[in-house]
Amino acid sequence: MKKWIALALALVLVLCLAACGESAEPDPNAGLYEAESAQMYGLSIQISDVFEDGFSLELKNGGKAVFHYEGKDYNLKWTLDGDVFHAEGGGAALDGTLSEGVMLLENVLDSGMEITLVCKELAPKS
């Protein structure tokens, strides 16, 4: 009898843990945002002139992100309040706006530069 009770409790525990592991709805803003343009002091700058290895930010579900900068990847946490975007981690903080697959980061890495990133899967087709 004790074995059956122990087996039943173990089964209930496994089912409870499986239920806790279910993921929430996917975030509608999740995706790969790649830098398309930059401005500094009112002048347009080529992304490749400033970031030889590219500049991108992959937003993932659960407030996680991967920031690709100078050939390295950095893990960040991100939040969105309305259209106000904030991400930080690894000594970096990124602030700006995010709407309909287009992100505008302001004063990127305290450089005074504004960078526009686009998620091709989410941005309206022009």
Which element (helix H / strand E) includes 93? Answer: strand 92-99
Q: Is the pLDDT of residue 126 over 70?
A: no
Between residues 10 and 120, the one the model is more confident about = 120
Q: Is the pLDDT of residue 2 over 60?
A: yes
Cβ atoms of 67 and 90 closer than 8 Å: yes
Give the model's confidence band at 80: pLDDT under 50 very low, under 70 low, under 90 confident, else very high. Answer: very high
| Model confidence pLDDT, tens digit, residues 17-75 | 555 554 568 999 999 999 999 999 989 999 888 888 889 999 999 999 999 988 889 99
Q: Is the pLDDT of residue 13 over 70?
A: no
And the tokens for 41? 């002091």
Query: Chain-wide mean pLDDT for the chain?
Result: 86
Pairing of strands 72-81, 84-89: antiparallel
And the tokens for 125? 């087709």
